[in-house]
Structure 1
Amino acid sequence: MLCRREVLTGSAAVAVAAALAACADDGGSVTDASVVPSGSASGGVTASANSDPVVLKWTWKGQALTSRVGPAVVQSGYTIVRVVVSADSDESFSLSGWLFGGGLDAYTMAAVRLLSLRDKIAFLEVGRSKEGLTADVEAGASVELFPVFGAAPEDMKSVDLLFPNAGVALGVPVVDAGEAGFDVTAAIAGSKIDEDIHSGPFELSSLVVAADRSADTEKDDVSTTVNVSGDVLFATDSAELTDRADELLGSVVEQLELYPSGGELAITGHTDDVADDAYNQGLSERRAKAVSDRLGELTELSAWEVSVSGKGESEPRVANDSDENRQLNRRVEIVLTPTDPSEASATAPNAGSAGGSGDVPEPKGPVGRGPDGVDIEIDGVPARISLDSVVRYEGYLIGTVKISPEQEVSVPLFLLRIPDELLYIRMWSSYAATGFTLLKGESRHLVVDFTDSGEDNRILANHEMSNLVAGDTRSLPVVWPDTGEDTVIMDMIGEDDAFGQHLAVRLTDIPVVEP
């Protein structure tokens, strides 16, 4: 016997749930959409308070949709999540190849990310089934989707999922297969798993850069890496520290003081490819030694095992094929590997910065309050961008940027991109929404990312944004490191490059809320 599960709320949901339970007791199987209790949360970032699915409300191609995310089940070496999408009107709807996938993986859920923000890990989606993503859905019906990922750890009671163009579902419950409400074995079998994809887990990392790009700080669960510009620390061809050196090394001191127990401290000098190898090697060693000596004067290093070396031009960050790239390669890299990484949690979230806590830099585009939104243009078409709030959750800030055009518009692929000089630090995709940054004083917090098994850096934000139609309010989820503030500033730098103009806008007074 087959029992059909409909999307209902309130007393109707209770009645249907009872009928389904009776049906299941009689040996029936439950398929199609989920039963959701009344009073479920909604919005671009939502969390489950119990075992209920997490509800996301969003708009796609001008139509208001609801996604019910969960539960998740770990079985046969995979984590599978039930996602039910329904329309908030009596009209039929269809999904799109660019909704959860894109590129060579159109009409899949390849761009969905399974996360544990608590454990700072991410998984790639491995299913390549197009089921449910290619057909029109009749009015009043829903579509059931099953993204599949690597197996979550056995002790994990909940997971988080990022859906491009929809939002972030926090605290999706992980249940046993018998409590899932769907046939887990059949769902995994029908997912067309690509076994060549390494799903993870991959460690999340965060990057903070100085607004003047003189330094950047990358953090993960194990270590903190600070890269300081050689052009700011030293004069050309010199190993003598400049007057600004203490200002930049102050951010390193802040990081060191987070870990009273000390650990390993590696200081490495790097140069570009100008001049010969031997000269560059000697210069890099002298510069690393100068930084090490000065840090020892600025703070106590007795708890740290310090190593000092130079790599010359042998380990560039990026190719030495332009003046801008050579500038990135002229640097001193300082890696802190603390004995007890948990000591940092006793301080304010993400204490320390990449470039001081002074005044924020001047904006490059229009400015307005995030909840109110700001008028912008997309390829000459008037539109509005807003960010109502961000959610503080497990050491991160999660927000959903919304963009609404006045009429249909073809969106330039590079509209939401960060400028090249920052993009190349992590070698992010040119098509991804890397341009959303948070400003804290003179420090710029970039989107959180992770490095997959192919050494590609993947951001926790939209992979790209497809064309907009009139009446559309596109939801663009983003995960940032926690800045430790009660309100934040979201800034897009813009700037011209070979691909054209990227969006420049600043949203201020964005409240930080609890989930």
Structure 2
Amino acid sequence: MPHPARTAARTALPLALAVLACVACTPDDAPSPSGTVTASATSADADVAPVTADVVVRGEEVTLDVGPVAVTDDVGVLRIAGPKAASLQTELWDVLVSVTPGANGVRLVDLTEGTVALPARTEGDKVVASWVRSVGGPATDAAAEAAGDDTEVLYVAFAAPDDTTVDVLLPGGGGLVQEVPVVDAQDAGVLTVPASEIEEDPVATAPVVALDTYTEQVGGQVRTRSTAQTVTVAIGSDVLFDVDSAELGPQSDAALAAAAQQVGAYDGGTLAVVGHTDDVADEAYNQGLAERRAQAVADRLGSLADLGGFELSVQGRGEGEPAVSGTSPEARAANRRVELVLTTEQDEVAPTTQAPAGTLPETTGPTAAGEAAVTIDSGNGVPVDVRVREVRRVGRFLVGSLEVTNTAGPDEAAGTLFSTGAWDARGSFDASLQQAATNVTLLRGDLRLYPVDYLVAEDRRDPLSDRVIYGPEKGSSILVTVVWPDPGADAVVVDSPVQAKEVTESVSVDLRVQPFRITDVPVAGAP
């Protein structure tokens, strides 16, 4: 059955810009490609041949030639080609990256090293990605002639990858295209153009950013943030101590056991146990309480984990370094904590095979298992069916593909169905993430793993998932791509939890996230 074409104006929430939608597919002709595509050589020279990938981008099935990445000095230019009818210039466009259409929503990822490369920019902050008003030149003309009149060819520049292949993450549910060749530009022939024919000004920055992880355990009382430099395990003091006490209570065992498991994944390094309080008492009292609580946690942790390889210190910061601002009960509870700050030179931590001690938290939403779907309200009263098409292990991470189908209509489903509202998964305000897949998590026991993210500014993070989701119209389906940390299991639970945000002491925002859970989802790929 052919896919009905549709073109519609959509408004991206943060910038209020009109963008074009894409061709949808009917549920009977649901998207068939999975979330990852491996190399398939074309008839070109095998060293430079693009990967032919059958993907689904914003609901449309399309065959793309992805690659090569042609390197000149320290800049690599990625080529993506497909049928002109697919309107790739808009379908691969992320309006939050640039107001100019083009393949600027594409990212290069290394899921073994744990990095993501973002599109290069000029000194004037223009993204180096081709579009109809690009500079052009003889190489562009020769490449277009070789591709043919029915083919649209796009280019986007990145920092030159270090390896001979690289994985490409497409927006709009297009998923991960693996093993795209990286070649010298002189060997690419008509499969590349110089960056100077994309943008007149030279490349000034080409970011390559480390992937970070965030997990929660024991009902959110143990929160672990892992970056390339440090691992910070924050344990809520309310689960450890009574008010004004530095004696560990009986309810602290589960939280400290979870923290010990996180620390035990590393061979050694430096470990600082740091106590923090809220601002209720005076500063001197809070300083002393923070120090006593930190010492109590350090003593107990030493009996739960082998700390022999760590240089251990115990510190108190009192009320001086709050985790969040504000004086609401929620804010003060977040600020009462003991943090384990671990710095290690260990490059890689293998996923643990030991399951977390806690049990699955309860859910109030619909549940399913395996390939079965759950039906949820997308957020605007339009029900959709959600199922997991695939979860695949790639390097140190899991790449998931979710299918969302609107069978009931009558309107378009909301694109906010997988988001944590105007906040990122860690609780920081970011209105640009209102249509991002930030709230689709994995569960293993009581360990909740949020989508992998990375810093794009000093105080702003983007998830390594689809960042602008357009909900499907009636009778159509879309795919959504999410990348998670690898919990080291052969099967996972995909879970979207209830989310609410306490803005002030008297104002709480219901994020209108309908919870759901899909259990027993198999993980493809060897650990």
TM-score, normalization by structure 1: 0.80
Asked if 1:512 corresponds to 2:523, the answer is: yes
Take 2:260 and 2:58, find their aligned partners in 1: how far apart are those partners?
49
Number of aligned residue pairs: 457
- Secondary structure of 2:223's match? strand
The one-letter code sitting in structure 2 at the alignment partner of 1:510 is: V
Cα shift at 1:319: 1.6
- Secondary structure of 1:400's match? strand
More off after superposition, 159-168 vs 244-253 = 244-253
Residue 109 of structure 1 corresponds to 103
- Secondary structure of 1:252's match? helix
Q: Is the 8 A contact 1:403 1:474 kept in 2?
A: yes
Q: 2:161 pairs with 147, 152, 163, which one?
A: 152
Residue 391 of structure 1 corresponds to 392
Asked if 1:501 corresponds to 2:516, the answer is: no
Cα shift at 1:191: 4.2
1:260-301 CA distance string (max 9 Å, x none): 4x2211111112232232222222222111111212233343
Residue 94 of structure 1 corresponds to 87
Cα shift at 1:350: 4.4
1:203-251 CA distance string (max 9 Å, x none): 1111221151110222344432211111111112221111122321222
Residue 34 of structure 2 corresponds to 43
Q: Is the 8 A contact 1:266 1:308 kept in 2?
A: yes
Q: How does 1:117-196 map to 2 (within 5 A)?
A: 117-126=111-120, 127-129=127-129, 131=131, 141-153=150-162, 156-165=163-172, 166-182=174-190, 184-191=192-199
Q: Is the 8 A contact 1:56 1:167 kept in 2?
A: no
Query: Can you give the 5+ residue segments of structure 1 that lack an aligned partner in the other structure?
Result: 1-40
More off after superposition, 245-254 vs 494-503 = 494-503
Residue 66 of structure 1 corresponds to 63
Q: Is the 8 A contact 2:79 2:155 kept in 1?
A: yes
Cα shift at 1:481: 0.8
The one-letter code sitting in structure 1 at the alignment partner of 2:155 is: F
The one-letter code sitting in structure 2 at the alignment partner of 1:125 is: P
- Secondary structure of 2:98's match? coil
Query: CA-atom RMSD, angstroms?
Result: 3.0
Distance 1:303 1:448, change over 3 A: same
More off after superposition, 123-132 vs 304-313 = 123-132
Q: 1:465 pairs with 466, 469, 480, which one?
A: 469
Q: How does 1:208-287 map to 2 (within 5 A)?
A: 208-210=215-217, 212-260=219-267, 262-287=268-293
Distance 1:316 1:47, change over 3 A: farther
Residue 377 of structure 1 corresponds to 377
- Secondary structure of 2:389's match? coil
Q: Is the 8 A contact 2:68 2:183 kept in 1?
A: yes
Cα shift at 1:357: 3.0
Q: How does 1:26-37 map to 2 (within 5 A)?
A: none
Q: Is the 8 A contact 1:160 1:172 kept in 2?
A: yes
Distance 1:386 1:86, change over 3 A: farther
Cα shift at 1:55: 4.0
The one-letter code sitting in structure 1 at the alignment partner of 2:168 is: L
Distance 1:334 1:389, change over 3 A: same
Take 1:462 and 1:409, find their aligned partners in 2: how far apart are those partners?
22
- Secondary structure of 2:318's match? coil
Cα shift at 1:141: 2.2
Take 2:410 and 2:133, find their aligned partners in 1: how far apart are those partners?
23
Q: How does 1:220-369 map to 2 (within 5 A)?
A: 220-260=227-267, 262-342=268-348, 344-345=349-350, 349-350=351-352, 356-369=356-369
Take 1:69 and 1:328, find their aligned partners in 2: how far apart are those partners?
45
TM-score, normalization by structure 2: 0.78
Take 1:363 and 1:193, find their aligned partners in 2: how far apart are those partners?
53
Q: Is the 8 A contact 1:123 1:150 kept in 2?
A: yes
Take 1:228 and 1:471, find their aligned partners in 2: how far apart are those partners?
46
Cα shift at 1:68: 2.4
Take 1:272 and 1:371, find their aligned partners in 2: how far apart are those partners?
46
Take 2:370 and 2:132, find their aligned partners in 1: how far apart are those partners?
35
Cα shift at 1:302: 3.0
Residue 479 of structure 2 corresponds to 475
Q: Is the 8 A contact 2:384 2:405 kept in 1?
A: yes
Q: 2:493 pairs with 481, 489, 494, which one?
A: 489
Take 2:390 and 2:71, find their aligned partners in 1: how far apart are those partners?
32
Query: Can you give the 5+ residue segments of structure 2 that lack an aligned partner in the other structure?
Result: 1-31, 42-46, 121-126, 135-147, 502-508
Take 2:183 and 2:382, find their aligned partners in 1: how far apart are those partners?
46
Distance 1:317 1:98, change over 3 A: farther
Q: Is the 8 A contact 1:225 1:335 kept in 2?
A: yes
Take 1:42 and 1:313, find their aligned partners in 2: how far apart are those partners?
52
- Secondary structure of 1:391's match? strand
Take 1:133 and 1:370, find their aligned partners in 2: how far apart are those partners?
47
Distance 1:109 1:268, change over 3 A: farther
Q: Is the 8 A contact 1:268 1:288 kept in 2?
A: yes
Distance 1:125 1:227, change over 3 A: same
The one-letter code sitting in structure 2 at the alignment partner of 1:176 is: D
Cα shift at 1:332: 0.9
The one-letter code sitting in structure 2 at the alignment partner of 1:508 is: T
